[in-house]
Chains A and B, each alone.
Chain A
């Protein structure tokens, strides 16, 4: 597609359940990022994929969070045993992967844990 596509756009889940969020980056972009944005806050880096390199997981807040990127394209962010503090917008972004290249964001997946 023309832009970064994320699904679902909204998700309400019960505390303790697992959730999966999907990101389809811009075609041809080798770099993919996940960020988290709590209500009224800035963007918190979670994880970064670049080509076939090992992902940079340094931003994942706990071992309940994991992400995969299959075939160098689509990525899935999984949150296990969700907690109320996981409620946030999860934003995916992609870029060409060149050093200093700008990144382009999807519209986000709004997660609410009740």
Chain B
């Protein structure tokens, strides 16, 4: 069953607004990854986090690996229309080797 709870499921925002989404789990993760999927494409890696407490930025994107290793958030600042897509969190569960577990996705819509 689903081990990663991602929220919100969808967001409709105005261009220029900041966006925040998060993933939580009752299980401990060794890594957290954030992917973006454009329509008709495969997911593309945005940010990878490898250490509890790690805060990493990639342009307008910022993500953090929660101290408890059970959660992560992704922030997008000053959203633009091309930010539209589905954002997935993913992680490697402790003791699950290289298996990657995905959240259910957050569908982001940006109004120009």
**Interface check B48, CB cutoff 8 A:** yes
Which B residue's beta carbon lies closest to that of A108? B42
Q: How many residue pairs between the two chains, A and B, have CB atoms under 8 Å in the bound complex?
A: 59
Kindly state whether residue A65 has any CB partner on chain B within 8 Å.
no
Is there an interface contact between B92 and A42, defined as CB atoms closer than 8 Å?
Answer: no
What number of A residues sit within 8 Å (CB to CB) of B?
A: 27
In the complex, which of the residues A48, A50, A100, A108 has the most CB atoms of chain B within 10 Å of its own CB atom?
Answer: A100
Assuming the contacts A31-B98, A42-B104, A45-B99, asked whether A105 and B30 have C-beta atoms less than 8 A apart, the reply is no
B residues contacting the other copy or chain, number (CB 8 A)? 27
Contact B104–A99 (Cβ < 8 Å): no
* B82-112, CB < 8 A from A: 88, 90, 92, 97-105, 107
Taking A48-B99, A98-B98, A102-B48 as known contacts, 7 extra A-B pairs with beta carbons closer than 8 A to each other, sorted by chain A number, are A31-B98, A43-B88, A48-B98, A95-B98, A99-B98, A102-B33, A108-B42
